[in-house]
Amino acid sequence: MKIGLVQINPVIGDFTNNCEKIRSWAEKARQAGCELVIFPELVISGYPPQDLLERDSFVVAQDKAIEEMVADLPELDVLFGCFEKRQGDKGKKLYNSAVVARKGKIVFRAKKQLLPSYDVFDETRYFEPGSASELYRVNGHTFGVTICEDVWSDEVHDYDTEPVKNIIEQAQNEGHDLDGLINISASPFQQGKEETRKAIFTKVCRKYSQPFLYCNQIGGQDSLLFDGRSLVMDKSGEVVAQALGFVEDMVVVDSATWKGEMHGAPRIAELDAVYQGLVMGVRDYVKKCHFSSAVLGLSGGIDSALTAAVAVDALGAENVLGVALPSPYSSQDSLDDARQLAENLGCKFEVLPIAELFSTFNTTLAHLFTDLAEDLTEQNLQARIRGNLLMALSNKFGHLLLTTGNKSEMAVGYCTLYGDMSGGLAVIADVPKQLVYELSVYVNRNKEIIPQRIITKPPSAELKPDQTDQDDLPPYDILDKIVELYLEDGQGVEQIVAQGFDHDIVVDIVRRIRINEYKRKQAPMGLKVTSKAFGFGRRYPNVQNFQG
């Protein structure tokens, strides 16, 4: 039997278009000779719908869309994810389900049993855990169906049930030989996660001697990036079919031989994956929010250069405006580098000097600042002038303003509220500085896009004479590692110091992370590429004084 796995890019709440995509791809699967086609988790509504699930009108609209779609599907089994209403007064009102449509009717249901409530997941807020489902049978074949987290029970040890084990035991008790395990997912991308997934899937295949079919969502949804990379493994854990990453795709596998289509490589280099994810995230956020173009400040530095490269690859050079906003402290080299970058990218470029505006601000404030030395106030004024001008361009021309700060800066508050933090999307806010350098070299892998001087010169905000980032921060390789250990690994000060880092530096960085929480709460949404990003999935109080 031929089976199709289709990863699509849904828009949350756009039931009509999501269902039309399913109909269209199901027809392609039928034409390819498939008797079963599989779609991702919650594909009708898009994932994660969050508090829209609490609106009765949202539930009614999804049910109507499913009813109309099921009546119009082609002649094959169509397995897809949706939420379903649950009966009863106690407990949550919905299930996260996988259903199969056949000849105008729903003929099979499986309910998600393990509901993650960590990091970016909050499923126990909306869903009731399901109990074990029946086995799914189609044309003489029998499958066990699971939903995303249901196959992660060995990885996350907070669960007291093992859905896959229960399926195997159920098949044995009923005297059935399984033909394979199906898992539909909406599993977000982060660095290193693909290896973790495949290790888990391989373990499942080998432990239960079963082929494994995994269908994952793609697309950017707010800060989350879904990479797809749907796949099929044989019972030994070898990948026999592989979809592309970060794009809509279908792969077909034959259950008679467990051989299939290999559209994507079994392994994708992490730099490739991160860059593709950022490009997809920008494209989807801009277009799903009904923008068509973007504007950003080009300082001549590496952060804005990388952000501009991502934006051009996402939106096309004709839809990106780069603006240099030189101050009295900006070097000619930086302006030249910004101009050269724009020429290399082919995007639009403008120069708006801010010296006169800066002088006017200083004159206006002079009688209040008499006898006070210049400090961060004057530096921040320059950033805020730039932010106002960029927002004016955004308002006037309908561009989405992209901010360019990286994760290292966001961590320690090396950024200005209502200045360089102004904007609608923070493209590299979860990209540490060292990774910014690696991605910039990656951008230049075929030809020089980012001028070499941007990559090699010492980073500087250029808000005072002869300034460099390292006037105020430790070297970025040290800063990034401490931030990673503290933020992603959850280690405390003493644990980090025990690994050989200077005690005073660690204490200072942790202090800065703590006292700048209020800034990050006011920052634009950032695209998530690491295991723990600032923003969605990290919930820390602004007011707290724990220093460990």
Point out the residues that are catalytic.
41, 112, 148
* Dihedral over Cα of 469, 473, 477, 481: its sign: negative
For residue 509, CA distances in Å to 118, 411, 414 come to: 25, 8, 11
| Cα–Cα dist 535/492, whole Å | 20
User: Which residue type occupies 287?
Assistant: K
Helix (H, G, I), strand (E, B) or coil at 51: helix
Check: CB of residue 126 under 8 Å from CB of residue 19.
no
- Contacts of 475 by beta carbon, 8 Å cutoff, 6+ apart: none
Helical H runs in 180-266?
193-208
Check: CB of residue 84 under 8 Å from CB of residue 95.
yes
Nearest to 189, CA basis, from 248, 154, 149, 229? 229
For residue 188, CA distances in Å to 193, 225, 264, 420, 537 come to: 9, 6, 18, 28, 12
- Contacts of 338 by beta carbon, 8 Å cutoff, 6+ apart: 298, 299, 300, 304, 322, 324, 349
| Cα–Cα dist 435/533, whole Å | 14
- Please list the helix, strand and coil fractions of the chain in percent, rounded to the nearest 5, in that order: 40, 20, 40
Q: Token match 């994932």: residue?
A: 47
